[in-house]
Amino acid sequence: MHLSILTSFALFITSIAAVSSSRNSDPRVRRAPSISAEKNATYDYVIVGGGTAGLVIASRLSENPALRVAVIEAGGRYEVDNGNVSVIPGYATVGAGTSPADIASAAAVDWGFITTPQATTGSAQMWADEVDDQSYTFDKLLPYYEKSSQYTPPQFPQPNSTNIQDPKTLTSKTAPVQVSFGGYDDPFGTWIIPAFKAIGQAAINGFTSGKLIGAAYCPSTINPDGNKRSSSETAYLQPAANRTNLHVYEHTLANNIIFDSAKRATGVNVTTGSTAQIISATKEVILSAGTFQSPQLLMLSGIGPASTLKSLDIPLIQDLPGVGQNLWDQVYYGSSLRVNLLTNSAGLNNPLLAAAGIAAYDADSTGPLSIGNTGVLGWEKLSTSTSPTSKNVTTTLSPATKNALAIFPPDWPELEFLPASGVLGYQRVFATEDPRDGYNYATIATALVAPLSRGNITINSTSAADPPVINPNWLTHPADIELAVAAFKRQREVWSLGLSNITLGDERIPGVKVQTDAEILHFIRESLAPVWHAACTCKMGRDTDEMAVLDSNANVRGVTGLRVVDASSFPILPPGHPQATIYAFAEKIAEVIAKGVAQGNGTAGDGVATTRGLTGLGAHGQGDRPTGPGIQPLGYGP
């Protein structure tokens, strides 16, 4: 929440703020519900992190009036703290940048804005096999995707699109998270599916049926009633505001988990301002603090690599060497050209056009502020592509790279194309550094979604107020490097083969002088950004996997009464945007816990994992991106 940086593209410009004085005061913004909390109280379940997963768990468990549930959240309510910046879809595209000043100025803005590609059938099967639990196959997870998300078709047909969505999926009419298309067709977006067809990519029926390879319009978590952001707060917490058995501790930092002599989690030490207290749990503590801070809190609580804990004089509760390891992340970068149609780089740098966009949104929630991006995405498996247009690129991939990529299932793409109605490049703050020459620019960006490089999270302090040490290790595996260069060349083919009718002049970024593989790689390293999909740092796994932190019910191994439920729990990072999977995963684990309660067990699987051999509310955990952009992801986004 508060400690994170933005997700999504930086295309909308600061002139909007100059034109609109209502940026933070739109009366249509729903105010946060007030859910009181008690000092030093005892609950059945204590959840650390009011983000995508945490609020799902809190809402579902508190449906049982016999259970007392608490949420500990380091941030506040995004609609209160940020107003329209975190509510109106168009503002989701303001970039945070990388300089200390940029990070400070954007510290309160965390969108978690999302679109709907889910896991593929093959990636879900890979997950199930990794954890030896077939309840994670796509068919078994699909009911939880359905339980969380309610789809609304577009109000008007999308140009150049044959089928907008697979009608067999997202059929619920009562699910809490709203999924729709907003109220605007971005002009550049209307060219993308034909452009992808020109390079051999088929148009498909959306990204919710277990298939990703191809191109389609992609809905986002936008509530069609007013085209505002739909989040875990609006979908799960606000409807539960009147429950007396659910308490939320806002602006409260979780310092560490407390254990008894039997290694059972009994509560959490927290600080609200300068006030310290203990929030106790009679059944379970559930960590949903995010990919970066869930492993941090485990280590601060004595669970993690013994050598790390010893170096900081943290008493060892359980030696789990996998805590903080296995960090999966995806990076993206783009090439930008001038185009002969209206894009955000010109349209919203012009005060008159910006004012028109605001007027359209104020009048009937339409216009460019009602969407977060172009609305079109595409995926490609380049290493096995048979498209004639890809031969020039695929032949540059070495046998070693193709062999390395063969570990992924056949339906797991390697590239995601993210068309952007603006400029990406060597920019710290994308939107404010778009060219101000009055021309229109657009970008074809590519993300690597089959990464082989792995990073890690560790700590160098015993204070939860200090950020964890994040080592993403982007582009350290030779196959990732080779694929990144090939992906850039593929971007240029999209421009030359599919978009030449709308381009004006030479490539603006990085420029036609960048030609050799070494020059391309240098540009990529200088300009890449994370896609905010970091995951897998507290991975679940088989009993025989020494690096597994959790069992398949998300119980922490070697202790009792403690789970981790967020993207850090994933054993692998599926290629689709992870938020859909986080929602589904949280729904699944909430059901497991509830069934355990109903059966009189108190906790599912007794809240016990075997020992081997023996985010602002509605965002991402209690602040799961402390030093820069982090995860995102319904398959919905960013």
- Among 2, 247, 577, 620, the one annotated catalytic: 577
State how far the Cα of 278 lies from the Cα of 266, in Å rounded to an integer. Answer: 10
Closest CA to 368 of 417, 434, 311, 422: 422
Instruction: Check the annotation: does 328 bind a ligand.
Output: no
Which residues lie below 8 Å from residue 225, measured CB to CB, with a gap of 6+?
178
Strand partners, 417: 378, 446
Cβ proximity of 421 and 192 under 8 Å:
no
- Among 2, 247, 533, 620, the one annotated catalytic: 533
Closest CA to 294 of 247, 249, 254: 254
User: What's the token pair of residue 75?
Assistant: 């941030």
Closest CA to 113 of 272, 232, 280: 232
Closest CA to 608 of 543, 547, 521: 543
Cβ proximity of 90 and 12 under 8 Å:
yes
State how far the Cα of 490 lies from the Cα of 447, in Å rounded to an integer. Answer: 12
Cα torsion 560, 565, 571, 577 to 10°: value is 180
Residue count of the chain, please give it: 638
Residue 243: count of CB within 10 angstroms of its CB: 15
Q: How big is the CA angle at 566 (ends 419 and 545), to the nearest 5 degrees?
A: 110
Q: How big is the CA angle at 370 (ends 366 and 376), to the nearest 5 degrees?
A: 115
**247 annotated active-site:** no
Instruction: Check the annotation: does 578 bind a ligand.
Output: yes
- Per-residue CA distances from 499 to 199, 225, 334, 396, 503 (Å): 11, 34, 15, 24, 7
Which residues lie below 8 Å from residue 508, measured CB to CB, with a gap of 6+?
336, 337, 338, 423, 425, 435, 441
Q: Is 287 exposed, middle or buried (0-12, 13-18, 19+ CB in 10 A)?
A: buried
Residue 557: count of CB within 10 angstroms of its CB: 23
State how far the Cα of 557 lies from the Cα of 540, in Å rounded to an integer. Answer: 9
**577 annotated active-site:** yes
331-339 and 441-448 beta bridge pairing: antiparallel
Q: Containing H/E element for 310?
A: helix 306-311
Q: Is 500 exposed, middle or buried (0-12, 13-18, 19+ CB in 10 A)?
A: exposed
Instruction: Check the annotation: does 533 bind a ligand.
Output: yes
Q: Where are the beta strands (DSSP E) in 510-575?
A: 529-530, 562-564
State how far the Cα of 603 lies from the Cα of 551, in Å rounded to an integer. Answer: 14
DSSP 8-state symbol, 468: P
What is the DSSP track for 476-489? -SHHHHHHHHHHHH
Residues with catalytic annotation? Answer: 533, 577
Binding residues: 532-533, 578-579
Binding residues for FAD: 532-533, 578-579
